[in-house]
Structure 1
Amino acid sequence: MGWKTVETLIVLLVAAVALAVFTWSALGFEELESVKGGKGYVSDEVWYVGSARTILVKVFGLEPRMPGDSYGYTVVYSGQVDYGVLESLAARYGLRLRVDYSDLKAFYVSGSREGLTGFLSEARRYVEVGDVIPGWMMPDHSGINNYLNQEHPPLGKYIIAFTMYVLGDRPFYWRIPLIVLGASTTILLYLSLRRLTGSTIAALAASLLFTADPLVRTLFSIALLDGFVAFTSTLAFYLAVERRHGLAVAASLVGGLFKFTGLFTLIPLLVLYLRQGLRRRPSPYMLVYTLTAFTLLSGLLFLTVLAAVSLPLINYMGLGNWVKYSLLGSITWHTSIKCNGPCPGSSAPWDWFLGVNAFTVYVDPTVAAIGFYPLWSTVLVASIVLAPLVFRDKRYGLQWVFLTGVLAGYVAVWLAGGRSQYSFYSVQLAPFVYGGLVYTAAYALRRENLAYLAGFYRRVSALTVWLLTR
């Protein structure tokens, strides 16, 4: 058996372990909700999955596929309703009825399609029906039947909606794209570290630590947009490792189509382009030219692609409303405090490394969106103390600039007023945390690098003393 075959088997093993871990976690959440009689949603799935279903039904004019021969409708009504009449009507048609809605004036009825058709036809005599959403039961939030999640780009919702249409509309199916992308992210991290270090052991250690992280395990087992962003960010990193910077920019732009934070990987890529330009021509002109050209070209390209991807929404809601709510409105939303009164726990970006102010993803049992914070805090401290190594070790510098560049994006939003940030956003940083951790432990702390750091800090100390004693 050749070494390439062994490497292929290792990659397949890494993928299989990640798939098993994320699948087990996703099924666990589905089982918890089933046992408790819940509606199946975990955390912000209520917004992303709910809007994906609304987009599928109202924007694309399609119905979700329901598993087996069971169909369901969330019926939104106005006025008053006699649930006793509805229950007897549902029993006559052999249907199941759920009336446990409080914020949304609705009920959910499920069973055979023929029975549902007859039920709805007759129920309209007793209920002022305002809307009917086919598929799995909608979340219990007022106006959710018209909510399109316009503060975020639509690509993630399209993928979730596509899964509903092709595979079926049930909690585990919503999560399949994230499970697959989670395994793909793990593979990309392995390949990146393998290329940077030349060590299978180091690459395997980084990928397994990443998979075992509780934040990663949770975010790649539920249908939140941040898992998509973590994948595209890792893809951009891998392409940068392979020196395919143009494709890395493309991956970053695609990440922005899921959530605007996906664009944060453009920050380290800008640094790489600036470095290349200044090496060719070290002048202020080249600095300004590269900075301006990169910003304008990537910005225009992103807006063009975003508009193209959003064409179904533009056709549905009108160009003016799309610009108002999906572009201008989203900027205001991201740079403001999004929640007043009783709110989920928000955090500053540095809190994610310290294990404080974690977002609660699930209540019973408690599941918090936080990583192995002793390791995360170690990486944060190391990124500060070992920062001078970026001038000596290019491989360390590449990992460092991706970690600090993406983190800088979140800090910039926080400084701009976006204080309602949540710890589950940090899954985008997780690949860089564990890649940086393993590389630092195995390679960055070599004797020659430590000697370089000691000399650097001696010079800094001497300069500081000289400045203070002048």
Structure 2
Amino acid sequence: MRKLDAVFWASLTVLVALYTYFTVVTFAPIDSYISDEVYYPASAYNILNYVFHVKPELVSPWTPANVTGYVNPEHPPLGKYIMGIFELAFGYRFVAFRAPSWILGDLILIFVSLTVRRLICLEPWATVFGIAGGVVTALDPILWVMHGVAMLDIYVAFFSIAAFYFLISRRPKLASVLLGLAFSSKESSYFLLLPFLFYLTYLYSDRLRRLIWGVLAPMLVYVLLAIPIMVYFGGPVGWLRQSFLHEISWDLTSGHISSSATSQISTPWDWFLNVHPFYMGTFGHLSLFASTSPPIMIAWVIVSVLALTLVRKLELSIITLAGWIEWLSFVLVYFGGNNTLFSFYVADFEPFVDVTIVAGAFLIAKRALDIISSRKARTSHEGKEGGDNGSWQGQQDEVHNLSTT
């Protein structure tokens, strides 16, 4: 087991090192804003300035989109807090506010590998497929692009997969805190409360403990992190009106981009075939698109059906359902009135997709082989019983013939 652990961590270290290297050489030289970076790092700077009353060194230039005083009330604040810490430490510059996303991208790769290994359990396959999970994540195009830029999607992706890894590892208290951090990163994670609570019913028979660790603790984390923004908006009522309720209204309203920009807009079902991948910009010879991978997305559909019907392993089912519930939340938003959705939202739940595909593929194959072996053993046993019965009958006939002569 120790040798396999060494192989796992050595392989993962090499993979993360390569991923980090290619991230830095790809995104560090881009000395301009990438897509919605004009909003989030600037709002992080404004939060430092107007909420916490500190002012980082302003190195990178502002653009017309960098509205003075804008704190991005449409989304929870945690991602902007983290960007702000890096801006305070290293100045308001492109590399500084992208660096947290790069780190979280590395951590997502690690947590996908750990989650796959936890789900499979059976060695050496758990180690082999755990590493494979990391490779699939490293090659996943939507995570590659979105972990390179300073937007919020990679934050919710990391805290969500980390929360569910610790949940299925039977560490619900830590998982609960991480779920609260996911809530505080982006509202697309709110519906993850459903599979989280469902798994807690398996861990805790006591309803009070389920309420505390499934609902109250994540909400407490969310509220505590929102307190500085509450103060900025004049108290809980002002925050509720200008941030939380505004956030819901924003999510259910079209117009986040011109409706004529059809090449940028996609529906949740378009994401399976990479229809209208969101254009992030061209930088020298590099054009960036928030592209999904149709093979990964279609495999997700197939593996999910088989995982839920054939394997029926609780932990795999929870991970699978977590991804689908986030996808369904975007479907609800679409039918709720927001028809300007974008392909980069897939990054919010993509770690669940990668885990489901890799771990699910192994567990489905194992279950299928177990069924085949069981049927062969049953057939062999029935054939042997039939042969024994025929031999017994032959002996009885021989005795009968001797007695009649």
Same-fold status (TM-score > 0.5): yes
Give how far 1:165 is off.
0.9
Taking structure 2 as the reference length, the TM-score comes to: 0.80
1:316 counterpart = 2:240: no
Whether the 8 Å contact between 1:389 and 1:396 is mirrored in structure 2 is no
Matches of residues 226-237 of structure 1 in structure 2 within 5 Å? 226-237=153-164
CA distance in 2, matches of 1:186, 1:370: 18
Which of 33, 43, 61 is residue 137 of structure 1 equivalent to?
61
| Number of equivalent positions | 363
Give unpaired runs (5+ residues) of structure 2: 376-405
Residue pair 2:176, 2:217 contacting (<8 A) in 1 also: no
- The residue type paired with residue 337 of structure 2 is G
- The Cα of 1:64 is off from its aligned counterpart by 1.4
Could you say if the C-alpha distance between residues 325 and 5 of structure 1 is closer, same or farther in structure 2, counting changes exceeding 3 Å?
A: same
Cα deviation digits, residues 417-470 of structure 1 (max 9, x gap): 333322111112221222222223323133637959xx9xxxxxxxxxxxxxxx
Which position in structure 1 is the counterpart of 2:388? Answer: none
Mapped partners of 1:419, 1:295: distance in 2: 35
Q: Which amino acid aligns with 1:442?
A: F
Give the C-alpha shift of residue 276 in structure 1: 5.2
Residue in structure 1 matched with residue 17 of structure 2 by the alignment? 16
Aligned to 2:152: 225
**2:335 is matched with which residue?**
415
Instruction: Give me the TM-score of the superposition, normalised by structure 1.
Output: 0.70
How far is 1:372 from its partner?
Answer: 1.9
Q: In structure 2, how many angstroms separate the alpha carbons of the residues matched to 1:227 and 1:146?
A: 24
Change (3 A) 1:271 1:405: farther
Q: CA deviation at 1:295?
A: 7.1
- Give the conservation status (yes or no) of the 8 Å contact 1:190–1:207: yes
Query: Which residue of 1 is the match for residue 272 of structure 2?
Result: 353
Q: Is 1:445 aligned with 2:365?
A: yes
Stretch deviating more after TM superposition (335-344 or 14-23) = 335-344
Q: Distance in 2 between matches of 1:404 and 1:450?
A: 27
Q: CA deviation at 1:273?
A: 2.7
1-side partners of 2:240 and 2:55: how far apart?
28
State the distance in 1 between where 2:22 and 2:289 align: 17
TM superposition shift of 1:409: 2.7
Distance 1:446 1:305, change over 3 A: closer
1:335 aligns with 2:252: yes
Post-superposition offset of 1:350: 2.6
Q: Does 1:325 align with 2:326?
A: no
Match for 1:190: what amino acid?
Answer: S
Q: Do the aligned residues in 2 keep the contact of 1:239 with 1:245 (CA within 8 Å)?
A: yes
Mapped to 2, the partners of 1:211 and 1:357 lie a distance apart of: 22
Q: Is 1:388 aligned to residue 315 of structure 2?
A: no
Contact 2:310 2:367 in 1 (8 A): no
Structure 1 pair 440/303, CA: closer, same or farther in 2 (3 Å)? closer
Give the RMSD, CA atoms, in angstroms: 2.8
The 8 Å contact of residues 307 and 317 in structure 2, kept in 1 or not, is answered as no
Question: Given the superposition, is the C-alpha separation of residues 257 and 446 from structure 1 closer, same or farther in structure 2, using an over 3 Å criterion?
Answer: same
What CA deviation, in whole Å up to 9, does each residue of 1:91-117 have, x standing for no partner? xxxxxxxxxxxxxxxxxxxxxxxxxxx
Task: Indicate if the aligned counterparts of 2:180 and 2:220 stay in contact, CA closer than 8 A.
Answer: no
Tell me, yes or no, if structure 1 residue 306 matches structure 2 residue 251: no
Work out the percentage of aligned pairs sharing the same amino acid: 27
CA–CA distance in 2 between the matches of 1:419 and 1:335? 9
- Aligned CA distance change for structure 1 residues 306 and 431 (closer, same or farther; 3 Å): closer
Larger Rg: 2
1:58 equivalent to 2:50? Answer yes
**AA of the residue aligned to 2:43:** S
Give the aligned partner of residue 25 of structure 1.
26
